[in-house]
Each structure stands twice: as C-alpha cells, then as structure tokens.
C-alpha cells in the first residue's frame, strides 16, 4: 500500500517565497538570494513529506510564479516580445508574468486566467506560427537532481501537453493540432532525460480532461499520448486528472498505455460509478484521490474506507492520494496558534493531510481498521454535533419566495430615474474600490489588530486616509468616488469578521497568483450579520464631497466561493444565509445616504461547474438569485453596481444580465475585447465598464492607449451605457503608478467625451 500527493504548496508556510520575490522585484535583494530562499523552501517540503512517510514525493511542483508559465518556458513557447528584451532568464520569466517597463522596453504581461474552478490563476501561454515547441528549460531536471541529492527519488510533476495546448492562446493561423508532433516529441525528450537522471515515475497533469470535450479534443488527446507512450524510456507514466471525473471517455483513457491513472473521487462525482461499472485495467495502478485537496476539513475515514474497500474488492491495484494538488490549501495548523482546539480538531491543512494519508495507509494495512485508535478518534469527531447553529436564520432561508429575489421597477425604468438623479457626464469615470495600500496602512491595521493602536487612533487614521483618497479623486477629476477600502485586509475576510458563523485563521494563506496569496475564512456555522460593516466609512466619505461615493460590498457568491465552505449543508443554503446578511448592509447603506452601492462578485464565475450540463442545476440556479436577494430591496433611484475580475462570461451572458444590477465593471484589458461583440449581439441591458487598463501590472497606460481602448468599446457599446474604469481594485499598486494612470484615464474619457459630443 502506497501514498501519493499531486503537488504541495510552494509559497512557504510563512509566505517566505512571496516576500523574497517582492524584494527581488524592488531590487532589494539579488537573484542569488531569491534562488536560495526557493531552494530552502523546497528542502523543507521535501523533508516534511519524507518524514510523514509519503511514498510518491513530487518534484517540479515548485514554481516562482506559475506552473503553466514554467511549462511555456520549458517548451520554448515564450513570445518574442519577452525573449528580445535581453534580460536574464529569471527576469524574462518575470517579464512574461508581470509585464516589464524599464530601460530595455515596455511590454505587457501574458494574460492570466483562473485555473479551472479554483481561485488560483495561471498565465496563458501564447503560441504563434513561429513558435517551435522543443525542450528549452531545465527546471524539472534540476529539481529532480536536487531532491535526489537530498536522498529522495521524487516523482517529477509536469503540466501535460494536452492541457497546456488546450489552454494556450494561438495568435497566428496555426491551431493546437499543428503542434501535436512537436509537443509529443518534446515530452518524449523530457521523459528520456528524466529517465537518464533516475526517475521511475513521472506525473503528467491533465486536468483539462474533466471538462466537456469535443470529438476533436479526444482525438487530439489520443494522438498526443499514443505517440508519447510509444517511447517511455522505461519510466512509468502517471496520467493525473483532477477537479472532476472523466465520464465521457473513461474507457478510451484507461485503454491507453499509461502505467498509472489518477482519478478524483472528491469532485469527480461520477468517478466511483465509472470504476464500478467499467472496471479498471489490471496492468495499471489507480491513484485514488480520496483526500480533499481543496478544503480544510478533516477526512472522514469511514467514507474513505468505503471507497477504497470497493477498489479492493474489485482487485484494483491502487495508491491512496489527494484529489488535487495541495496548492489549494494552506500549509500547516502548527502556525494557527490562536484558533482553539475545539475548531482545529476538525481541520487538516496540507501538512495534516500528509498525516491523514499515512493514517489511511495504516488503516488499510491493519487487520481490523475499525479497531485502530486513528479510526476511532476520527469517527468520534464526525459523530459529534457542531456548534454554531442558528434556527432563526434557517427559518428565514426556508421562508424565501420569488418576490424576495425580484427588484422592482424594471431595469429600463430605473435606468431613466437614475440618469436624472445622478446627472453624470457621458462615459462616467470611476474605480473599482480599493486604493493603494501603503506599508503605513498595513502596519496601522496590523497594529490595531494586535491592540497596539487604540480604536480612536485607528479611527482617525482611517478617516485621514479616506479624506486623502476623496481629495485625490476630486483632484484627478473622477466622477463616482470610492472611500478607498483602507479598513480592509481582504475583500472576503473583512466581511466575514462582521458575520456570525465565520471563523478566521491566522496563517492559512493560499496562493492566488504569483506572489499574491489569500487567506480564506471558514464557514463554520449558520451566518448572520453581527454588526454594520461599512456604513461608517462610506458615509464618512460621502460627508466630505458633493460627488457620489459608491458603497463597497462583497457579494454572497464571492464570499462563499472565497471561503472554505461547510460540507454539512448545501452551498445554496450557505449562499442564501450570507445574502440575507449582506442585504441588511445594503439597506443600511441606503438609509445612511449612500446612493450607489457596488456589490462585488469577483468570484462568481470561478465555481461554475466545469461541465456545461451541470451549470444551471448545480450552480447558477442559486448563485444568481443569491445576488438578487442582496439588492432586491433598494429604492429605484439607488444604483447597484457589480464587479467581476474577468470578462469570460460570454457563455453565461444572460445570467449576468439576470443579476439585474444597474452597472457592471469587469476586467477586459488583459483578455481581448471579444466579449464586447457578445454584449452587443445579446443586447446586454446592464450598463458596462470594461476595464481600460490592467492593474495587475505596474506599467502606466498612456492616454492614447486608453482612448484607443475606449474607441473600440464605443464601436460595440451604446455611448450612454459605457463607464470608464480600471479593470480591478488598486490596492496592490503603488501611488506612483496609480495617480498618473488615473490621470490618463480621466484625460482619455474627457477627450472622447468632447469628441463624441462634437
Ligand atoms: N472592490 C474591490 C477592490 O477594489 C474589488 C476587488 C476584486 O475585484 N478582486 O479591491
Ligand atoms: Zn476585480
């Protein structure tokens, strides 16, 4: 009996890699120091995994920024605009990840997208007609050797060619199929080289397999792998899938010459049934993903044994593993010193999941698993009732009816009322909410949390910042202002802290993209609004200016999607509970003179099921109503905005319109503007602010660049529906780039305005 994991977090248990990278970006440390930090972190992971008794220890799951980007560099698929800068390899890599503006040139970053249904983001590889796919990097080889020198023969982990080529963006006339031969040869070379270095197993990650695939996708997959598997250099190849099941072509995949196949028994709702009805080939090993790689609750051994017993009974040769990479959970409970054991005993982070794997292995090899202390302790834990029940909330949710989800009067009527009320210029300018969070702000907030800064001092500090932010926006000439969100560490945690039923962790950081990490709170019990959340700050900001100030809230779907959700009640019930709490805040803001309220649903699309057939029944049928429940009670003259961090909603455009917001702002500068054609075609009703520049990069967009973007938008969007804004909040940016960027934005809007009038 053996155990395996798909990958491990890499940012460092105390985010060491993040801090080192950020210092490196600022020129505060040398490349060598960054490399040393990374090496030390890899060593710690290796040691921890080895000590836990894990059998298949991964390597190459480390990354300085993102695994897809690593694969692009490994496969020589790096656009010339980066390679021609003449930077060091590492800087070239960071230029592709973050954009580059300096002596050697001015280039934007590659596009960034959400990684399947997670809150992790990958860099989208760009392939043009000249791209020559071949092995050009060293990372998997170096990291394999490094681990071997530390005494561990690891299982190198690579993004598979199918997922890589499916997710890449093709800028020329060639398509993915044109790269079949070259990609297969590159992987054959990689396998060969790893074999020469001593690798025995190689894991190829192919999460794309759990999506809805077309016939041509399946053919493409088979073509790639028939070729690769014909030349394995004596290495065992593990095909690793995750985030779902491979229901459409289970038999075709298992018939290929893989030595191991990794299946997800947690999110793959059909996985067990597939194995049950079709069997599993005797000459292959099933890597059974039974420990949840995405959530922080302890594994329920009774359920797990139930699955594994079934595999055993079928005489399937299996390895026990996680459902996906542990990248999506925090490192270790050891750093959670403040959370009481009453809660912690229900949790398992990455490191504790290693222990769970070891325990499951022990159960499986013991004569009578039910008699072991590990099993007993586990079943006792799950038998106990959990604290935090609130029956009145449950009753409120049960009593909801259609009218609670319907805002009146209809959109067109409201739009007219609001145009008269606010009397904004054409192409109103605004921002998404947060302004740069300086070190001073972070320090003061942390000081307040620790009790080193008094409530009064903190209050006046924030008021000072809000005033500065209002004056700055007035000076720049923005039309709809924001208070700047200085009170918030994070757009979900902040709200969670104002809700009963939420739990907070101290160090449960999870990588979101590059050096950015999030610390999702935990939905523990039934949710209700414990106190007002934002009214004080928003109304203070509004008191300082005659211009409208937008109230700024996070929506229920995003709060839920960016939390670790309960597994004992449905997501729908949790979402409605949160929606009722945020609804109270919306009405409170309105009653306190806030006339425009933005309810961010940054993560709405994120949890859209990967298969279209599941979209409505499993998700949209409650997610869209949850949003409407939040704002359906406001007056017609109150303007509701929403914001999304992406523009990939062409296929759910009707659902987005059905959220029935008055205005939606979204990211559009990093992806191409194709969404605008769809908006036009579908007669999108909601007013729109497609982001005119990319805030994920430190570069400053020129006025002309913004004007050009606006011009393109105007070709497709009616002038009276177009807003002008950056594509997301500014909190991660510095003032140096934010102020000139916004000045250019306002100047561009003004010029287009006067041109348009003329
Ligand atoms: N209002 C939030 C902000 O500006 C939105 C952030 C987000 O969309 N991720 O920071
Ligand atoms: Zn955003």
- Domains defined for the chain, CATH in brackets: 415-757 (3.20.20.210)
Around ion ligand 2, residues with a beta carbon closer than 5 Å are 602, 645, 728
Task: Report CA-CA distances (Å) from 347 to 210, 296, 334, 409.
Answer: 28, 5, 11, 46
The mean pLDDT value for 586-593 works out to 98
Look at the block and give the residue holding tokens 């793959």: 268
Q: 92: Cβ below 6 Å to ligand 1? A: no
Average pLDDT value for the chain: 96
| Atom of ligand 1 minimally distant from the CA of 645 | 8
- Asked if residue 202 has pLDDT above 70, the reply is yes
Nearest to 518 by CA among 498, 488, 538: 488
Say how many Å lie between the CA of residue 673 and the centre of ligand 1.
Answer: 21
Structure tokens at 622: 């409650």
Centre of ligand 1 from the C-alpha of residue 451, in Å: 27
Does ligand 1 come within 6 angstroms of the Cβ of 645? yes
pLDDT band at 670 (very low <50, low <70, confident <90, very high): low
Residue ID of nearest Cα to ligand 1 atom 4: 729
Q: Which atom of ligand 1 is nearest to the CA of 731?
A: 10
- Once rounded to an integer, what is the mean pLDDT over residues 451-474? 98
The yes-or-no verdict on residue 539 having pLDDT over 90 is yes
Continuous H helices in 153-281: 161-167, 180-197, 215-229, 250-255, 271-278
Expressed in angstroms and rounded, the spacing between residue 724 Cα and the centre of ligand 2 is: 14
Average pLDDT rounded to a whole number, residues 444-464: 97
What is the rounded CA–CA span in Å between residue 224 and residue 228? 6
How confident is the model over 588-603, as a mean pLDDT?
A: 97
The answer to whether residues 605 and 644 touch, using CB atoms and an 8 Å cutoff, is: yes
Q: How big is the chain by its Cα radius of gyration, in Å?
A: 26
Distance 724 CA to ligand 1 centre (A): 16
- CB-ligand 1 contact for 298 (6 Å cutoff): no
Chain segment 334-390, per-residue pLDDT in tens: 999 999 999 999 999 999 999 999 999 999 999 999 999 999 999 999 998 877 889
* Nearest ligand to the CA atom of 641: 1
What would the pLDDT profile of 479-499 be if each residue is shown by its tens digit?
Answer: 999 999 999 988 998 999 999
Confidence of residue 674 (pLDDT cuts 50, 70, 90): confident
Q: How far is the CA of 602 from the centre of ligand 2 (A)?
A: 5
Mean pLDDT, rounded, for 693-708:
94
Q: Which of 480, 605, 728 to mutate to test the pocket of ligand 1 (most atoms within 8 A of CB)?
A: 728
What pLDDT does 146 receive?
Answer: 98
- The pTM (predicted TM-score) of the whole model is 0.88
End-to-end CA distance of the chain: 77
Per-residue pLDDT at 606 = 84
Distance CA 163, CA 124 (A): 11
| Residue pLDDT, tens place only, 722-748 | 999 999 999 999 999 999 999 999 999
Does 757 score more than 90 pLDDT? no
The average pLDDT across 591-617 equals: 94
Active site residues: 696
- The predicted structure's pLDDT at residue 20: 98
Residue whose CA is closest, atom 5 of ligand 1? 729
Confirm if 702 and 754 have CB atoms less than 8 A apart: no
């Amino acid at each position: 009996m053996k155990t395996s994991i798909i990958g491990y977090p890499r940012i460092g248990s105390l985010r060491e890699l993040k801090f080192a990278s950020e210092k490196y970006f600022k020129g505060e440390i040398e490349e060598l120091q960054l490399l040393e930090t990374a090496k030390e972190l890899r060593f710690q992971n290796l040691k921890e995994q080895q000590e836990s008794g894990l059998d298949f220890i991964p390597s190459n799951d480390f990354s300085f920024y993102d695994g897809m980007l690593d694969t692009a560099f490994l496969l020589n698929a790096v656009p010339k605009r980066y390679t021609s800068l003449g930077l060091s390899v590492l800087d070239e890599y960071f230029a592709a990840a973050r954009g580059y503006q300096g002596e050697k040139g001015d280039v934007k970053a590659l596009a960034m997208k959400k990684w399947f249904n997670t809150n992790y983001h990958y860099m989208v590889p760009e392939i043009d007609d000249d791209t020559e796919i071949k092995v050009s990097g060293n990372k998997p080889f170096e990291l394999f050797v490094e681990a071997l020198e530390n005494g561990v023969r690891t299982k190198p982990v690579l993004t598979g060619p199918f997922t890589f080529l499916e997710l890449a963006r093709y800028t020329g006339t060639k398509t993915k199929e044109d790269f079949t031969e070259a990609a297969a040869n590159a992987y054959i070379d990689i396998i060969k080289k790893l074999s020469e270095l001593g690798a025995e197993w190689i894991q190829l990650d192919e999460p794309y397999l759990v999506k809805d695939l077309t016939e041509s996708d399946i053919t493409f997959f088979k073509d790639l792998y028939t070729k690769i598997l014909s030349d394995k250099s004596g290495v065992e190849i593990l095909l690793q899938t995750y985030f779902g099941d491979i229901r459409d072509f289970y038999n075709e995949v298992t018939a290929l010459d893989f030595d191991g196949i990794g299946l997800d028994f947690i999110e793959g709702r059909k996985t067990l049934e597939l194995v049950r009805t079709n069997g599993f080939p005797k000459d292959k090993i099933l890597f059974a993903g039974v420990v949840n790689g995405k959530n922080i609750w302890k594994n329920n051994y009774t359920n797990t044994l139930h699955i594994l017993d079934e595999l055993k009974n079928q005489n399937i040769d299996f390895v026990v593993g996680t459902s996906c990479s542990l990248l999506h959970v925090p490192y270790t409970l050891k750093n959670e010193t403040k959370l009481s054991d009453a809660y912690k005993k229900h949790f398992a982070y990455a490191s504790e999941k290693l222990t769970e794997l070891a325990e499951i292995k022990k159960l499986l090899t013991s004569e009578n698993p039910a008699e072991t202390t590990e099993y007993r302790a586990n079943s006792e834990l799950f038998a106990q009732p959990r604290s935090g029940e609130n029956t009145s909330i449950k009753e409120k949710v049960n009593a909801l009816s259609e009218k609670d989800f319907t805002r009146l009067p209809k959109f067109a009527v409201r739009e007219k009322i609001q145009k008269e009320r606010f009397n904004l210029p054409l192409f109103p300018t605004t921002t998404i909410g947060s302004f740069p969070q300086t070190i001073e702000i972070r320090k003061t907030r942390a000081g307040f949390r620790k009790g080193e800064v008094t409530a009064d001092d903190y209050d006046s500090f924030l008021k000072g910042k809000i005033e500065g932010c209002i004056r700055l926006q007035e000076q720049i000439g923005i039309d709809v202002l924001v208070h700047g969100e200085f009170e918030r560490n994070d757009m979900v945690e902040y709200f969670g802290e104002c809700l009963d039923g939420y739990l907070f962790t101290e160090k449960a950081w999870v990588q979101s993209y590059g050096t950015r990490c999030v610390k999702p709170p935990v939905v523990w019990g039934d949710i209700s609004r414990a106190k007002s959340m934002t009214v004080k700050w928003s109304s203070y900001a509004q008191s300082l200016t005659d211009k409208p100030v937008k109230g700024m809230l996070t929506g229920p779907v995003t709060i839920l999607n960016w939390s670790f959700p309960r597994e004992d009640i449905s997501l729908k019930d949790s979402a409605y509970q949160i929606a009722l709490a945020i609804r109270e805040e919306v009405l409170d803001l309105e009653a306190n003179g806030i006339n425009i309220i933005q309810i961010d649903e940054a993560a709405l699309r994120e949890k859209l099921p990967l298969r279209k057939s599941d979209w409505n029944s499993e998700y949209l049928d409650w997610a869209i109503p949850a949003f409407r429940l939040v704002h359906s009670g406001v007056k017609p003259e109150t303007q509701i905005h929403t914001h999304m961090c992406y523009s990939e909603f062409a296929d759910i455009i009707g659902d987005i319109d059905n959220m029935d917001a008055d205005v939606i702002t979204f990211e559009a500068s990093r992806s191409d503007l194709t969404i605008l054609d769809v908006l036009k075609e579908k007669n999108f009703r909601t007013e729109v602010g497609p982001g005119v520049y990319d805030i994920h990069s430190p570069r400053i967009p020129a006025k002309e660049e913004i004007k050009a973007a606006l011009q393109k938008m105007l070709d497709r969007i009616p002038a009276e529906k177009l807003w002008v804004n950056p594509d997301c909040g500014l909190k991660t940016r510095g003032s140096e780039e934010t102020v000139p960027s916004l000045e250019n934005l306002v100047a561009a809007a003004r010029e287009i305005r006067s041109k348009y009038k003329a």
